[in-house]
């Protein structure tokens, strides 16, 4: 009878295991003993520095470790599903990457699988380690498991990453059971509490900030190339800008460029496994063009000693073929014989030519101003009026549309110059151009978390009004 009951209990246990979900990582650890200072295990957050900047991607590591003997011989399975490391790590700020509700400001990074990866439970989800290391603390050797995420601070002044908790069960005396397998006779439910991580968050410094700074924070590398590097006049080619680095590139807005010797016909995003690739379609304006000039990108490098840095692409040589020359057939001379009494015509021709050239130069000088205005597009005040009509309820969008249109109407602006200089080259008054550059910087600052610039919209509206009245 006892044997029958035992077999029925075993069947019930097996059926219960089969009906449980494979990912069922729920468990109950009642009244755990705090073993934080017992030297058995630890859990902690780790980062390279505690001073970070708004908009900077900051790697944060979640690490926990067990003394080697405890890991191999003492841990007890907590879940229906057997885990390599039967522990539950509670770290609300460090959600598993497969969850769709990962809270900001975290940016999850892919977990790289490896042959020696071990799984465990993180916030009730199955997760695999990214790194397994070994270290000695107070004379004891620990096996350490690590995960890494990137945090993106979006505000100031401080960011608190609340402490993690490591929950597990252990025993030191075990017996074998027919129904339950290895059973601890002295089971102990335990918890180990980690450290708080306090990050001091600051805005990039205003001292020494270049006018061309557009909010890029991190370490970057840039390179450029042309495909192809030999084209015929009237044809186009693609100039590719490749940006890589540790900064936040997913939301990075590519620069709006202009070149003296090339017209930009369009731009496109190119799929890339590293960084961002932006292709600009360029058309040579003359056969005299020899290279696509260097382009400068300004960024703030937070690596100590933190500073603003300017990156320059290399000048890319371009060979422009002028195309086939037009051959003119020589006309036969029907007046080869000059009569003796014919008057000399060369002095008269010279007088006519000199007079004509002088008249042309005078007319060209008088029309140079209007010619430049025609080449540079519509007047600034009309561009402002058009932007207002396009965005009647959004003064920021109207301002940015207006600035982009003005920059597009400046064919002689060179890449790498400031917004103010390029606007002034587009025909905008110097005071309005300088003010537009300042307002553009304030818009970027507000975008990266400066919530105290409450009067920015008022200043943008005043600038648009001033632009509209600039035609008077």
- The tens digit of pLDDT for each residue in 115-158 reads 678 899 998 888 888 888 899 999 999 999 998 888 888 778 88
Q: Label residue 281 by pLDDT band (50, 70, 90).
A: very high
Among 38-42, 362-366, 433-437, which stretch is predicted with the lowest mean pLDDT?
362-366
- Check whether residue 38 and residue 140 sit in a common domain: yes
pLDDT at 402 over 90: no
Q: Label residue 313 by pLDDT band (50, 70, 90).
A: very high
Q: Rounded to an integer, what distance in angstroms lies between the CA atom of residue 87 and that of residue 79?
A: 9
Q: What is the mean pLDDT of the chain?
A: 76
- Check whether residue 50 and residue 182 sit in a common domain: yes
Nearest-CA neighbor of 265 among 275, 273, 257? 257
What per-residue confidence (pLDDT) applies to 180? 64
- Check whether residue 225 and residue 198 sit in a common domain: no
* Domain end point (choices 172, 202, 232): 202
Share of the chain above pLDDT 90, in %: 26
- Check whether residue 42 and residue 185 sit in a common domain: yes
Report if residue 361 sits inside a domain.
no
Phi, psi for residue 420 in degrees, rounded to 5: -60, -45
Write the CB contacts of 153 (distance below 8 Å, at least 6 apart in sequence): 52, 53, 54, 55, 56, 58, 105, 159, 199, 201, 449
What is the enclosing helix (H) or strand (E) of 441?
helix 430-447
Number of helices (H), then strands (E), belonging to the chain: the values are: 8, 26
pLDDT at 273 over 50: yes
Range of the domain at 310: 220-321
Among 27-36, 51-60, 111-120, 456-465, which stretch is predicted with the lowest mean pLDDT?
111-120
Secondary structure (DSSP) of 158-220: EEEEPPPEEEEEE-S-EEEETTTEEEETT-EEEEEE---EEEEEEPPPSTT--TT--S-BS-E
Cβ atoms of 215 and 444 within 8 Å: the answer is: yes
Q: Which two tokens stand for residue 56?
A: 């900077």
What per-residue confidence (pLDDT) applies to 77? 87
* Domain end point (choices 290, 321, 352): 321
Report if residue 7 sits inside a domain.
no
Cβ atoms of 46 and 215 within 8 Å: the answer is: no
pLDDT at 363 over 70: no
Report if residue 371 sits inside a domain.
no
Cβ atoms of 244 and 334 within 8 Å: the answer is: no
CATH code for the domain in which residue 297 is found? 2.60.40
Q: Is 386 helix (H, G, I), strand (E, B) or coil?
A: helix
- Check whether residue 433 and residue 313 sit in a common domain: no
What per-residue confidence (pLDDT) applies to 240? 94
Nearest-CA neighbor of 307 among 228, 224, 204, 387? 204
Report if residue 32 sits inside a domain.
yes
Of 259 and 107, which is predicted with more confidence? 259
Cβ atoms of 331 and 298 within 8 Å: the answer is: no
Share of the chain above pLDDT 70, in %: 72
Q: Label residue 192 by pLDDT band (50, 70, 90).
A: very high
- Check whether residue 52 and residue 180 sit in a common domain: yes
> How many CB atoms neighbour CB 300 within 10 A?
23
- Check whether residue 224 and residue 196 sit in a common domain: no
pLDDT, tens only, 1-35: 434 444 434 434 433 443 444 455 666 677 899 99
Q: Label residue 469 by pLDDT band (50, 70, 90).
A: confident
Report if residue 11 sits inside a domain.
no
Strands laid side by side in the 51-53 sheet: 51-53, 197-202, 158-161
């Amino acid at each position: 009878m006892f044997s029958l009951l035992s077999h029925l209990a075993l069947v019930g246990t097996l059926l219960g295991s089969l009906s449980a979900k494979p990912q069922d990582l729920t468990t109950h650890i009642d009244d755990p003993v705090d073993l934080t200072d017992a030297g058995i295990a630890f859990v902690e957050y780790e980062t390279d520095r505690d001073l970070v900047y708004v908009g900077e991607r900051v790697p944060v590591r979640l690490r926990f470790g067990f003394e080697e003997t405890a890991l191999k011989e003492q841990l007890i399975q907590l879940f229906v599903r057997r885990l390599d490391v039967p522990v539950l790590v509670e770290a609300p700020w460090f959600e598993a990457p497969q969850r769709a509700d990962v809270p900001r400001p975290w940016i999850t990074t892919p977990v790289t699988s490896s042959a020696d990866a071990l799984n465990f439970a993180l916030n009730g989800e199955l997760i695999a380690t990214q790194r397994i290391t070994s270290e000695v603390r107070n004379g004891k050797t620990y096996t350490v498991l690590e995960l890494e995420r990137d945090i993106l601070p979006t505000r100031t002044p401080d960011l608190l990453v609340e402490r993690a908790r490591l929950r597990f069960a252990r025993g030191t005396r075990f017996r074998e059971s027919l129904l339950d397998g290895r059973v601890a006779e002295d089971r102990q439910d335990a918890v180990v509490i980690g450290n708080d991580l306090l990050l001091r968050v600051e805005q990039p410094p205003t001292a020494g900030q270049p006018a061309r700074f557009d909010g890029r924070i991190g370490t970057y590398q840039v390179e450029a190339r042309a495909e192809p590097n030999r084209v015929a006049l009237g044809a186009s080619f693609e100039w590719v800008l490749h940006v890589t680095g540790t900064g936040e590139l997913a939301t990075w807005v590519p620069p709006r460029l202009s070149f003296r010797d090339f017209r930009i016909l369009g731009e496109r995003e190119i799929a890339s496994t590293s960084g961002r690739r932006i292709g600009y379609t360029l058309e040579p304006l003359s056969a005299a063009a020899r290279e696509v000039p260097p382009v400068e990108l300004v960024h703030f490098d937070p690596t100590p000693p933190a500073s603003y840095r300017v990156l320059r692409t290399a000048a890319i040589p371009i060979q422009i073929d002028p195309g086939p020359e037009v051959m003119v057939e020589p006309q036969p001379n029907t007046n080869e014989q000059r009569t003796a009494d014919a008057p000399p015509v060369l002095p008269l021709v010279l007088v006519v030519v000199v007079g004509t050239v002088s008249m042309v130069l005078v007319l060209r000088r008088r029309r140079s101003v209007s010619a430049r205005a025609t080449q540079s597009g519509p007047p600034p005040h009309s561009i402002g009026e058009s932007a207002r009509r396009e965005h009647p309820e959004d003064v920021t969008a109207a301002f940015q549309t207006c600035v982009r249109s003005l920059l597009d109407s400046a064919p002689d602006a060179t890449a790498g110059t400031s917004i103010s200089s390029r606007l002034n080259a587009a025909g905008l008054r110097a005071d309005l151009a300088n003010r537009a550059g300042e307002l553009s910087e304030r818009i970027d600052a507000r975008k990266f978390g400066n919530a105290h610039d409450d009067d920015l919209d008022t200043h943008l509206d005043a600038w648009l009004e001033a632009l509209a009245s600039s035609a008077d």
